[in-house]
């Protein structure tokens, strides 16, 4: 049996807003995608916290997780991730304790330490520029305390939240979270969907330094991966120009709504190199190409799970991409 056939696949959704669309439309499409992912056998459906970005509608991440979980039956729904420094740990524990109470055994809490926004938005969130760098481990420990069993001397309790033991994941694109996850014996997810450069070193640090815990007896590494599948290589490459336009916009200092695919992208050699830094791990192609490249990626990384992000313009093409991946997954 192929490595791909024995690897769990999951979905990362940013609730993208199209150029001619709306947030309400994005939420309907997130539900449609989650329901399809559930039917196809994907393990998780995660949503990511971003603020003040015109093309992303998942800022109120916990609210949207509840909406998606309520519209599905079995698939695990969670955050990829919640930016811990943006929120008091007690508030996160109450939100995710509520979600776990409503949808028992189906909620994941992935945590990051980035702002998920620009400097001005960080200030509006009352987030110190240094938050998350010095105090992330302390905030994490506090959150674990609010989700674990209450101590007899505990003055403040998360209600709901206390005793729910919502599974925690650490997310990152560098070695910091990899080493912290290893030290605490937590599962780790690397964000190769936008920052693949440090992937192999982060996985090495995580596995080499892993300490068994009550949560895990061995490392569990998930990798976020951009994947665009279509009936042919050429059409997949065309659809992927939506994703490329988004990152080109970021390179040029503009964050916009999702743009329709185009036949050709104009960019300088420097921009092309920068785009590669963002999307160097992307897998784009027809079924045979996607199958071959996913197998090669798993061989190179030994990932225990892949979380796929398909950033294309139309819902129809998005649904089709995940369906084609599910087909090659079962080969």
Residue-level pLDDT at 115: 62
Tokens of 90: 């007690």
Examine the pLDDT at 116 and tell me if it is beyond 60. Answer: no
Calculate the dihedral angle through the C-alpha atoms of 99, 52, 86, 226, rounding to the nearest 10 degrees.
70
**Better-predicted residue by pLDDT, 127 or 218:** 218
The predicted-structure confidence for 254-265, as pLDDT tens digits, reads as follows 878 999 999 999
Closest CA to 199 of 229, 225, 218: 225
Examine the pLDDT at 87 and tell me if it is beyond 70. Answer: yes
End-to-end CA distance of the chain: 8
Beta 283-285 vs 221-229: how paired, if at all? parallel
Closest CA to 49 of 37, 31, 64: 64
Examine the pLDDT at 90 and tell me if it is beyond 60. Answer: yes
In the predicted model, what is the mean pLDDT of residues 272-289? 97
Residue-level pLDDT at 132: 56
Architecture of domain 4-227+290-311: Alpha-Beta Barrel (3.20)
CA distances 220 to 2, 17, 93, 189, 200, Å, are 19, 32, 23, 9, 14
Q: Is the peptide bond before 301 cis (omega within 30 degrees of 0)?
A: no
In the predicted model, what is the mean pLDDT of residues 61-86? 97
Tokens of 78: 């969670």
The predicted-structure confidence for 210-247, as pLDDT tens digits, reads as follows 999 999 999 999 999 999 999 999 999 999 999 999 99
Burial (CB count <10 Å: 0-12, 13-18, 19+), residue 171: buried
């Amino acid at each position: 049996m192929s490595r791909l056939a024995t690897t769990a696949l999951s979905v990362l959704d940013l609730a993208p807003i199209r150029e001619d669309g709306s947030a309400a439309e994005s939420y309907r499409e997130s539900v449609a995608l989650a329901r399809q992912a559930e039917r196809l056998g994907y393990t998780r459906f995660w949503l990511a916290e971003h603020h003040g970005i015109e093309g992303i509608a998942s800022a109120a991440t916990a609210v949207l997780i509840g909406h998606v979980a309520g519209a599905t039956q079995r698939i695990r729904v969670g955050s990829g991730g919640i930016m811990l420094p943006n929120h008091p740990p007690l508030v996160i524990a109450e939100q995710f304790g509520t979600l776990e109470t409503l949808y028992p055994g189906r909620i994941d809490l992935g945590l990051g330490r980035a702002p998920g926004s620009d400097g001005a938005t960080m200030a509006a969130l009352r987030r110190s520029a240094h938050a998350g760098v010095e105090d992330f481990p302390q905030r994490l420990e506090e959150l674990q305390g609010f989700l674990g069993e209450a101590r007899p001397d505990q003055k403040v309790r998360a209600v709901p939240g206390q005793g729910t033991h919502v599974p925690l994941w650490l997310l990152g694109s560098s070695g910091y979270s990899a080493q912290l996850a290893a030290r605490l014996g937590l599962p780790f997810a690397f964000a190769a969907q936008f920052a693949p450069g440090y992937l192999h070193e982060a996985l090495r640090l995580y596995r080499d330094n892993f300490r068994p815990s009550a949560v895990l007896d061995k490392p569990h590494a998930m990798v976020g991966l951009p994947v665009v599948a279509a009936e042919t290589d050429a059409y997949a490459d065309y659809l992927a120009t939506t994703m490329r336009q988004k990152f080109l916009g970021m390179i040029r200092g503009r964050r916009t709504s999702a743009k329709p695919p185009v036949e050709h992208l104009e960019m300088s050699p420097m921009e092309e190199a920068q785009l590669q830094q963002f999307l160097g791990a992307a897998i784009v192609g027809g079924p045979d190409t996607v199958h071959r490249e996913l197998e090669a990626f798993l061989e190179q990384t030994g990932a225990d799970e892949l979380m796929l992000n398909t950033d294309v313009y139309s819902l129809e093409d998005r649904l089709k991409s995940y369906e084609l991946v599910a087909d090659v997954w079962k080969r």
